[in-house]
Amino acid sequence: MTAGGGTDDMSRTVLEMKLRERNQTLAEFVEDAERFARRFGEPGTLSVRHLQRLISGRKPDGSPVGRPRPATARLLERMLGLEIGELLSSPDTVRGSAEDPDAELRQRLSAARRVNADVLTLLHGQLSSVRRLDRELGASTAHEEVATKIRQIARLRSHSLTSDVRGRLAALLAEFGTLAGWQRLDMGSVHDSWQFYEQAKAAARESGDEAFEVHCLAEQAFVLIDVGETGSAVDLLCAAERQARRLAGRLLRAWLAAAHGEALAADGQRSASLLAFDRAAALLPTDVSAVDGPYVVLDPVHLARWRGHALARIGEPEAVSVLSTALSRLDPTFTRAEAALRVDLATAFVAMGEHEEGRAHAARARALAVEIGSVRQQRRIAQLIASGRED
């Protein structure tokens, strides 16, 4: 039995149509909803009986069922990528709106008008939740959620008539866009990654905060590094650092200096790379918890991990001690970071002739990369093996 409880292809609501597309029974969808709520910290709940009523639009006595509680509405919206009003409408109504561009525009303008401080706070909370999911379980698990939110926020922004709200939605869209760009890079899709960064830069320009644009530019440089355009990446990050001196806080400036250091190491510029990391250490504030502007992850442990990566790239023996210390202090929820760090350790150990240690770290890195679907780290391991340095 499908979501509708029968074989009739006609759906009473868009919600029922969406469940049919998932090819799930109501009980299976409710189980998925429970897992989704736990994973993302959503307070909404859903039962099979309630879901049946929402699909039919009627209570057992025949009276209209009405809208679900706000928490349940948010849960359904996040899972299915549509607003609750659209989910509870009939497919014919939705098709009619699509055929009537005036009605569709009015609907989207109305939705955008409802974006207020509470909605923006909710959207930021969703971004925080999906970031946590991404760092623990990887892009293969979290990317679809991010892509859905990008479509939703882009639609709200493009129909918002309030400059302040529109700017804040644009900043949020830039943040989701940079996350999506990094995810696609980790999944091995450099073209898709580049396009997400292009979209993020466009949104950042509308945010009214130049720091968001600088951050998008800097993250896009890592796509250049991955395709071998290291000189271009160095130039881009050098310009980003200069631009940030007059507008960004110390945390973002430290992050930019470290990013510049990685690009310089990839380009074979040893001395300039080490100087960039010294600059990053000097800029890093004591309190890294207060984020005013673009979201970056940088503290003494992550800076050491990043410096160790550069040291391993340029063949410095010091890489092993720096990376080993960073690994011992790394928050275990940063699964992708651990995989990358272990690839760096494998590279550094093998460069020193410690092949057994190198193989151990490479094996653990490979297991983590496969677990989270990190094509990028799997490729790095394959290149290490193909080079004959990890025999």
- pLDDT tens per residue, range 178-222: 999 999 999 999 999 999 999 999 999 999 899 999 999 999 999
d(Cα 111, Cα 130) in Å, to the nearest integer? 23
d(Cα 382, Cα 370) in Å, to the nearest integer? 12
d(Cα 216, Cα 222) in Å, to the nearest integer? 11
pLDDT at 104: 77
178-182 contacts, C-beta under 8 A, 24 or more apart: 178/215, 178/216, 178/219, 178/294, 179/127, 179/130, 179/131, 179/134, 179/146, 180/143, 180/146, 180/147, 180/150, 181/219, 181/220, 181/223, 182/139, 182/219, 182/222
pLDDT at 94: 52
Q: How confident is the model at residue 9 (pLDDT cuts 50, 70, 90)?
A: very low
pLDDT at 268: 95
Q: How confident is the model at residue 5 (pLDDT cuts 50, 70, 90)?
A: very low
* Distances 314 to 31, 84, 152, 154, 299 between C-alpha atoms, Å: 50, 54, 43, 41, 23
Q: Percentage of the chain surpassing pLDDT 70?
A: 91
Q: Within 13 A of 232's CA, how many CA atoms are on the CB side?
A: 11
Tokens linked to 54: 């929402």
pTM: 0.76
- Comparing C-alpha atoms, which of 200, 250, 266, 191 is closest to residue 223? 191
* Residue 364: how many other CB atoms lie within 10 Å: 16
